[in-house]
Amino acid sequence: DTGVSQNPRHKITKRGQNVTFRCDPISEHNRLYWYRQTLGQGPEFLTYFQNEAQLEKSRLLSDRFSAERPKGSFSTLEIQRTEQGDSAMYLCASSSRNLGDANYGYTFGSGTRLTVV
């Protein structure tokens, strides 16, 4: 297992289109987080899964956003009717315990950079 994998790495889409991103966490990690990072800012929490249950959604996650984690394995984040303001890096992280490993915290994926034109 080589870590948290995210696909695609980059996505350019036209305004109004739908996009879906995928995150494959480290296999033994039952906790999965999505964050959004806009240019020059720190990552902002979007949502959290423990196994297949979505336990928290940020107010940043409008009705156009939906996330799933079927069977508690990989997760998808879908954005419908994309807007230019959705342009950002979408980061996925996983862990096996609350607040991550005691030595290094969460493990983050490489992210998916979304550009809405």
Residues within the interface to other proteins (CB under 8 A) = 33, 35, 40-45, 48, 50, 55-56, 91, 98-111, 113
Distances (CA, A) of 53 to 32, 66, 72, 73, 75: 10, 13, 8, 11, 11
The span from the CA of 54 to the CA of 43, in Å, is 19
Least distance in Å: CB of 55 to other proteins? 5
**Does residue 34 contact residue 109 with C-beta atoms inside 8 Å?**
no
Least distance in Å: CB of 109 to other proteins? 6
Nearer to other proteins, 25 or 43 (CB): 43
Nearer to other proteins, 74 or 108 (CB): 108
Count the neighbouring beta carbons within 10 Å of the beta carbon of residue 38: 13
Least distance in Å: CB of 28 to other proteins? 18
Nearer to other proteins, 7 or 80 (CB): 7
Least distance in Å: CB of 107 to other proteins? 8
Nearer to other proteins, 18 or 60 (CB): 60
